[in-house]
Structures are given as structure tokens and as C-alpha cells.
């Protein structure tokens, strides 16, 4: 992860037009008044910072949803949160409602809360994890249908903007966009700290969580609220960068399988930041000078990688359990002497197999003494 983060950060600041050699990056940022300095400090650096912050928020939100619902497929795209946030941003644009830049995150949060609230309400306020997940997929489909209706109403220019936004793009982002995320992060960070221990309890199931004093329905509602606070501001700025919340938690579990939900939360945020930073490189450079949306690359690479991690994780757990079950099968059968000594040990008053003497207690039940030359071990056999 450290290598990927370092390489992607250097490439994001160096590659492009104009090209800035890696050893000149610090000097270019300090100069500031040259072309290279302006491009690095005002265009590439805020884009990199936004990619890292957005990926961390999406990765943490994905883990919160997966742990609260106990399902590895519980991602923002399947719970109506991302679709609701996108609808909240696209609706004012199509309906020609002028909103200040500071209010746009509120519109995204309202749409995300609408999608998540509809999901919980239709699922019976969190009656069960599977019900929430299936209902969320239906709510997401309904919100996407409403979004398609808005796109049909939009003119050509608005349609291009909405289309590019829905795929998730970091193009043209500045320090103002980055600054708009910090107030929401200050709210979400303490909530994540308080939520992390509860996630470990929620993994045990609703009944066990209730026995330990955690109200499962309220905890699930709180987890969805935290996910909304994490996802909505990012969606307002970058659009729904797809499937980062699916890939990052699986990377965290695959590289750290036994650390628990608290540490998985940190690692999931870090892997989400790396995923978005890496995906933004081909988005900016693959078809240069034309930029492609970063969300297209995260979906293209994240879904097969996440499925592969799920399969390898399941096989690894099965392989770890298999030796304990088959150890008794592979254990060699005892030999004649071992069997005799084992039986003799279970017989009350029995002597060791090496004792060849016989007394009155060694006489069989029919009163006949053992044959001459026969030992007690042979009699036991």
C-alpha cells in the first residue's frame, strides 16, 4: 500500500502537460509563479488531495455498511445512498435552480438521506440485514429511474454535465472543493470512533448484540447515518465514484484477516484512498488530452478485484479449517500392542501388557486357567 501510494502520488504530480520531473516537484511547488509551479500547486495537488480524501471516506463508509449489515455486498451503490446523493445534485441543475456552492453538499446529503431513509423505512426500520440490502437495491433502482427522467428533461449541455458527473470525475477540482469537505469530516470522524467498537458487536448477530446491550436496529440506523455523512459530501463534489466502498473493505480484510472491525476501518480508509488515487491516473492520462471519469476505472477494476478477493478469502478460511477436521482421519491406526495396552488400561485392575504372570484374578469367568504360555495381553486380544 505504501509503495502504491507513493508511486501514484509522484505520478499524479509529475505526469501530464507540462511534464515535471520528480526531483523538480518540491522546487516547482516552492516557486509557485512559474507554469510548472501553478500547474502542480493549483491543479494537480488539490486533485490528488481530493482523490485521497474521497477514497478514504468511501472506503470507511463501505466497511461500516458491510459490518453493520453483515454482508460483503452491502455497498453504497446498492443501498440508495449514492443514487440519492446524485439525484440531489442533478435535480437543481436540470430544474434551473441556482444554488450556492456551499449549499450543494446539503442537497447531496438530503438526497442521500432520502435514499437511505426510504431503504430503512421499506425494510421495516432495520428488521434484518438481508431485508435492508434487498430493499436498498430496489430503492436504488427507483432513484436511478428518477434520475433518468431528469436526464430526459435536460438540454444537451446539462446532459453532458450530468453524464460526466454520474460517472464520478475529479476533473477541474480546486482547493475550494477540498475545503468544502473538511466540515463534514470533522463531524464524521468522531462518529466513526464511537461506531467502530459497536461494529465488532454487530458481527455477532442481532440476538447476541441485544444480549450484550447493543440495540441492533438503532445501531444499524446510526451506521447508515454515518455512511450518509461520509458519502454525500464526496458525491456532491466528485460524483458517485463507483465500487470503492466494495473493494477497499475486502482489501483490508485480505491483508489483515484477524485484526477486527476497529482496525479494518482504518485500513479500509487507507485502501480506499489508494484505489481512487491509482484510478485517477489512467482517467487523466490514458486517452490524453481527453479525460475519462475516474469512476469508470474504479468500477472496471474494482468489481473483478473484489470478487477475486472474496473467493480467495473464502478458500483461505476453508483451508485453515480443513486440517483440524482431517487430522483424526489421517492419524495412524494403533498397532496390536498399542490396542492391547489401551484396552488393558481401561479394564479395572488390569496389569501392564508386559506382565506375563497370572493369578486368581486372571482366571476367565468360566473358571478355566489360561492356556500354557499365553500371556494376559493375548487374552485381552
- Give the side-chain half-sphere CA count within 13 A for 112: 28
Name the more confident of 93 and 125: 93
The pLDDT value recorded for residue 129 is: 72
Distance of alpha carbon 183 from alpha carbon 232, whole angstroms: 13
Half-sphere exposure of 293 (CA within 13 A, CB side): 20
Per-residue model confidence (pLDDT) at position 330: 42
pLDDT for position 160: 79
Lowest mean pLDDT across 30-39, 136-145, 344-353: 344-353
Note the pLDDT of residue 125: 60
Higher pLDDT, residue 346 or 46: 46
Dump pLDDT digits (tens) for 184-212: 888 888 888 888 888 888 878 778 888 88
* Residue 29 pLDDT grade (very low, low, confident, very high; cuts 50, 70, 90): confident
Cell of 45: 495537488
Cell digits of residue 361: 484374578
pLDDT of residue 185: 86
Average pLDDT for 160-173: 82
pLDDT at 374 over 50: no
Give the whole-angstrom CA distance, residue 294 versus residue 240: 10
Report the pLDDT value the prediction gives residue 372, as an integer from 0 to 100.
46
pLDDT above 70 covers a percentage of the chain that reads 80
pLDDT at 352: 40
pLDDT at residue 92, rounded to an integer? 85
- Burial class of 222 by CB neighbour count within 10 A (0 to 12, 13 to 18, 19+): middle
In Å, how far are 53, 129, 165, 319, 338 from 373, measured between CA atoms? 87, 73, 96, 52, 21
Q: How confident is the model at residue 83 (pLDDT cuts 50, 70, 90)?
A: confident
Give me the percent of the chain exceeding a pLDDT of 90.
Answer: 18
Q: Is the dihedral of CA 174, 176, 180, 181 positive or negative?
A: positive
pLDDT confidence of residue 50? 93
Question: Given a cut of 70, is residue 318 above it in pLDDT?
Answer: no
22 compared with 342, residue with greater pLDDT: 22
Rounded mean pLDDT of 104-120?
A: 82
| Confidence category of residue 257, pLDDT binned at 50, 70, 90 | confident
Does the pTM of the predicted model rise above 0.85? no
- pLDDT band of 126, cuts 50, 70, 90: low
pLDDT at 368: 45
Q: DSSP secondary structure string, 322-355?
A: HHHHHHHHHSPPP-HHHHHHHHHHHSTTPPPTT-
Q: Counting beta carbons within 10 angstroms of the beta carbon of residue 16, is it exposed (0 to 12), middle (13 to 18) or buried (19 or more)?
A: middle
pLDDT tens for 266-290 read: 999 999 999 999 999 999 998 888 8
Amino acid at each position: 500500500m505504501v509503495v502504491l501510494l507513493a508511486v501514484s502520488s509522484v505520478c499524479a504530480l509529475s505526469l501530464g502537460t507540462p511534464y515535471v520531473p520528480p526531483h523538480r516537484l518540491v522546487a516547482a511547488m516552492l516557486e509557485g509563479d512559474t507554469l510548472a509551479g501553478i500547474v502542480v500547486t493549483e491543479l494537480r495537488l488539490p486533485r490528488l488531495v481530493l482523490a485521497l480524501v474521497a477514497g478514504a471516506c468511501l472506503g470507511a463508509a463501505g466497511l461500516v455498511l458491510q459490518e453493520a449489515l453483515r454482508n460483503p455486498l452491502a455497498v453504497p451503490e446498492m443501498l440508495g445512498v449514492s443514487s440519492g446523493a446524485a439525484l440531489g445534485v442533478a435535480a437543481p441543475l436540470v430544474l434551473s435552480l441556482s444554488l450556492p456552492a456551499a449549499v450543494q453538499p446539503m442537497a447531496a446529503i438530503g438526497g442521500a438521506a432520502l435514499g437511505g431513509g426510504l431503504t430503512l423505512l421499506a425494510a421495516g426500520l432495520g428488521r434484518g440485514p438481508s431485508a435492508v440490502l434487498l430493499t436498498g437495491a430496489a430503492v436504488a433502482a427507483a432513484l436511478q429511474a428518477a434520475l433518468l427522467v431528469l436526464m430526459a428533461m435536460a438540454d444537451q449541455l446539462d446532459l453532458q454535465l450530468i453524464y460526466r458527473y454520474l460517472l464520478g470525475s475529479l476533473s477541474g477540482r480546486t482547493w475550494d472543493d477540498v475545503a468544502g469537505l473538511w466540515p463534514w469530516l470533522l463531524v464524521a470522524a468522531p462518529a466513526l470512533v464511537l461506531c467502530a467498537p459497536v461494529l465488532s458487536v454487530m458481527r455477532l448477530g442481532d440476538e447476541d448484540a441485544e444480549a450484550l446491550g447493543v440495540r441492533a436496529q438503532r445501531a444499524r440506523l446510526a451506521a447508515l447515518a454515518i455512511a450518509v455523512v461520509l458519502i454525500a459530501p464526496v458525491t456532491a463534489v466528485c460524483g458517485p465514484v463507483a465500487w470503492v466502498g466494495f473493494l477497499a473493505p475486502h482489501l483490508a480484510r485480505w491483508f489483515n484477516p484477524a485484526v477486527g472491525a476497529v482496525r479494518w476501518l482504518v485500513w479500509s480508509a487507507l485502501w480506499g484512498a489508494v484505489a481512487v488515487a491509482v484510478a485517477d491516473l489512467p482517467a487523466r492520462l490514458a486517452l490524453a488530452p481527453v479525460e475519462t471519469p475516474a469512476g469508470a476505472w474504479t468500477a472496471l477494476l474494482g468489481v473483478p478485484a473484489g470478487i477475486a478477493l472474496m473467493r480467495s478469502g473464502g478458500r483461505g478460511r476453508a483451508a485453515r479449517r480443513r486440517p483440524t477436521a482431517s487430522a483424526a482421519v489421517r492419524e495412524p491406526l494403533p498397532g496390536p500392542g498399542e490396542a492391547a495396552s489401551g484396552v488393558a488400561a481401561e479394564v479395572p485392575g488390569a496389569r501392564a501388557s508386559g506382565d506375563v504372570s497370572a493369578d486368581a484374578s486372571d482366571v476367565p469367568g468360566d473358571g478355566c486357567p489360561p492356556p500354557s504360555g499365553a500371556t494376559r495381553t493375548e487374552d485381552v486380544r
